[in-house]
Chain A
Amino acid sequence: MSNIISFKNVLFSYNGEQEALHDINLNIQKGEFVAVLGYNGSGKSTLAKLINAILLPGSGKVLVDGMDTNDESLTFEIRKKVGMVFQNPDNQIVASTVEEDVAFALENLGVESSEMRRRVDSALETVGMSEYCNYAPHRLSGGQKQRVAIAGVLAMSPQCIVLDEPTAMLDPRGRKAVIDTALSLNREKGITIVLITHFMDEAALADRVVVLSGGRIAKNGPPREVFSDYDGMKQLGLGVPVAAELAQELRARGINLPRGIITPDDMVEALSPCLWRKPDERSSAGGEY
């Protein structure tokens, strides 16, 4: 598979002194679901903004589908390919009805109105917000607003969507709806997703996890591998998914569990054999109870 986004020796600094990103080399393949983790100030959002030419690298190159973000003539082509969804759902909805907001990008691109209608409807349907098409944005919940924002990006038919902490301001239900939407876009439409998040459980769903620390890539690998390194993650100031945390605690109490437990399903699978055994066998197989 080919790379849709590649960072080549990217350096970035906001004020010319402190570097927000040092020498980043990262490739994201078409159709991949990548989660980017890191504590506040680790350079996550900077990384996101470099992808669609909101920020330009101080040195090095960012290529989006082979296009260099430094080339100003390609800026709009790049933004059409890579859509961005931000943290605050209120501050990214421009128009005063849902459907007009979804149409905003298409209006900017000069898409013809009948074609626009079609694409707006299909984008709203994809995120499950069709019935709200005439709602005013302030009447929607946070999760719904965030789905509208995704639809607004989706209408451009991008190849990649970058979500910059899209769930940070949402309640658990809204969070689930947004993540499910992102997942289904990735699985069903093959859209590359770059999810920047604070929630380890969301990152566990990704194909690959990239951990940033102090503007450098500290870890880069499948979630199972990254989250298995419990101590390493704690050292980076980050946690691990709840299931991994639980597995770690159980292991500390002497229960012998396999490595790489990161989702509740993994946990169930690992624990259920223990429950089927007789009590006297349990202690030998699963440590002490």
Chain B
Amino acid sequence: MLKDITIGQYIYGSSPIHRMDPMLKLIFVIAYVVLLFSASTTAGIVGAVAFSLIIYKISGIPIKLIAKSLKPIVPVVVFTAVINMFFIPGDPLITIWKLTISRQGLFYAVILSFRITCLISASSLLTYTTSPIQLTDAIERLLSPLKKLKMPVHELAMMMSIALRFIPSLIEETDKIMSAQKSRGASLDSGKLREKVKALVPVLVPLFVSAFRRADELALAMECRCYRGGEGRTRLHESHFSSVDAFGTAVLVLMFGYVIATNCLFEAVI
């Protein structure tokens, strides 16, 4: 039962988006968010929304999945939209009791909803097209300048990737321990919440003990294979700036140009 849990939401694929350098992808997502919030004209925002739709199309990620990733944020979007609708002053449009919806407020609410939706879908696209390990790697590379400030960037990334690697093993182990305890008469999924939580103790204790033992053995195995921290390490998959990356950069720069141009040419709506 526990085996079906997938870590992250990576969907295997070979689209140009999948093939892009993960670090670049991470930067692009951040840049896109900046772009989304700096676009202050209708044309600019429409462009930014269209851009994310096109990228989704290229990535080959099914539309259903976007809907799924957006579901949890619907309340947030609605809440911020409503708040903005009522509290932005401007030309009154509708008045309900003491609350007034202004034209500007309504407009702002719509645009903000678009912005949040695009922000979430862009970041989920990153996790859909990049495996957790690639992502860890990307974060390590992105943060590597901080090494000069004595930040343990490599160690953090190594810890993260080992944690990811061991999640399936620990899930398997949990399954085994649960079966073992059940076979000794433990009831793990009945009773009140308090009892259920109490029943987890005999599962968690052996799990922790075994995790520590694993950690110990793994450290030994790593030492045997000459691990000595990040100093002088090389990688099997060195990332090279590929044509996909170049194309992606060019497109993003163009998008920025477009947004800046629209911001200058048209009247700001926000």
Interface residues of A (CB under 8 A from B): 52, 54, 76, 79-80, 83-84, 86, 88, 90-97, 99-100, 103-113, 116-117, 120, 136-138, 149, 152-153, 156
Q: Complex: how many Å from CA A149 to CA B218?
A: 12
Minimum C-beta distance from B109 to chain A (A): 43
Residues of A within 8 A of B238 (CB): 113
Cβ B235 vs Cβ A152 within 8 A:
no
* Stretch touching chain A among B63-71, B80-88, B161-169: B161-169
Is the CB–CB distance between A100 and B236 below 8 Å? yes
Contact A88–B228 (Cβ < 8 Å): no
Is B189 part of the contact surface with A, judged by Cβ < 8 Å? no
Closest 10 CB pairs of A and B: A92-B221, A105-B225, A103-B236, A91-B217, A138-B168, A84-B224, A96-B165, A113-B238, A110-B232, A108-B226
Q: Which residues of A contact B208 (CB under 8 A)?
A: none
Q: In the complex, A147→B87 CA distance in Å?
A: 65
Taking the closest CB of chain B, its distance from the CB of A129, in whole angstroms, is: 16
Given the contacts A113-B238, A117-B236, A136-B168, A95 and B161 also touching, CB distance less than 8 Å: yes
Contact A88 B161 (CB under 8 A): no
B210 nearest in chain A by CB position = A91
- Least CB distance from A43 to B in Å reads 17
> Does B222 make an interface contact (CB < 8 A)?
yes
30 inter-chain pairs at a CB distance below 8 angstroms, sorted by A residue, are A54-B223, A76-B226, A79-B226, A80-B226, A83-B225, A86-B221, A88-B217, A91-B213, A91-B218, A91-B221, A92-B217, A93-B165, A94-B162, A94-B221, A95-B165, A97-B133, A105-B226, A106-B234, A106-B236, A108-B225, A108-B226, A108-B228, A108-B233, A109-B226, A110-B232, A110-B234, A113-B236, A113-B237, A113-B238, A138-B169
A166 CB to closest chain B CB (Å) equals 12
Q: How far is the CA of A100 from the CA of B224 in the complex (A)?
A: 16
**Count of chain B residues near A, Cβ 8 A:** 28
> In the complex, what residues of A have CB within 8 A of residue B225's CB?
79, 83, 94, 104-105, 108, 152-153, 156
Is B232 in contact with A94, judged by CB distance below 8 angstroms?
no
Is B220's beta carbon under 8 Å from chain A? Answer: yes
Q: Contacts of A84 on B, CB cut-off 8 Å?
A: 221, 224
- In Å, the complex CA distance between A136 and B228 comes to 24
* Residue numbers in B under 8 Å from A116 (CB-CB): 234, 236
Q: How far is the CA of A79 from the CA of B168 in the complex (A)?
A: 29
Q: Closest residue of chain A to B238, judged by CB?
A: A113
A113 and B162 contacting across the interface, CB-CB below 8 Å:
no
Interface positions, chain B 212-270, Cβ under 8 Å from A, are 213-214, 217-218, 220-228, 232-238
* A80: chain B residues within 8 A (beta carbon): 226
Q: Which residues on B sit within 8 Å (CB–CB) of A95?
A: 133, 161, 165
Within the complex, the shortest CB–CB distance from B7 to chain A, in Å, comes to: 10
**Are B162 and A52 in contact, CB atoms less than 8 angstroms apart?**
no
A132 to B164 alpha-carbon distance, docked (Å):
19
A86 CA to B219 CA, complexed, in Å: 12
Q: Hey, which chain B residues are within 8 Å of A153, CB to CB?
A: 225
Is B226 within 8 A of A96, CB to CB?
A: no
Q: Which residue of A lies closest to B220 (CB)?
A: A54
- The residue that A112 contacts in the complex, of B164, B213, B234, with Cβ under 8 A, is B234
**Across the interface, which residues of A come within 8 angstroms of B221, CB to CB?**
84, 86, 91-92, 94, 149
User: Is there a chain A Cβ closer than 8 Å to B195's Cβ?
Assistant: no
Q: In the complex, which residues of chain B have a beta carbon less than 8 angstroms from the beta carbon of A113?
A: 234-238
Question: A90: which B residues are within 8 A, CB to CB?
Answer: 169, 214
**Interface digits, B168-195 against A, CB 8 Å rule (1 contact, 0 not)?**
1100100000000000000000000000
- Shortest Cβ distance from B42 into chain A, in angstroms? 45
Please, which residues of chain A bring their CB within 8 A of the CB of B237?
100, 113
Contacts of A108 in B (CB 8 A): 225-228, 233
Give the distance to chain B from A122, nearest Cβ to Cβ, in Å: 14
Instruction: Give the complex CA separation of A111 and B169 in angstroms.
Output: 29
Say yes or no: B220 contacts A86, CB within 8 Å: yes
**How many whole Å from A92's CB to the nearest CB in chain B?**
4
Q: Which of B161, B228, B236 contacts A76 (CB 8 A)?
A: B228
Q: How far is the CB of A239 from chain B (nearest CB, A)?
A: 27
- The complex places the Cα of A106 from the Cα of B161 at a distance, in Å, of 18
A residues within 8 A CB of B169? 90, 138
Residue of B nearest to A96 (CB): B165
Give the docked Cα–Cα distance between A152 and B225 (Å). 8
Contact residue among A79, A107, A109, A110 (Cβ-Cβ distance under 8 Å from B236): A107
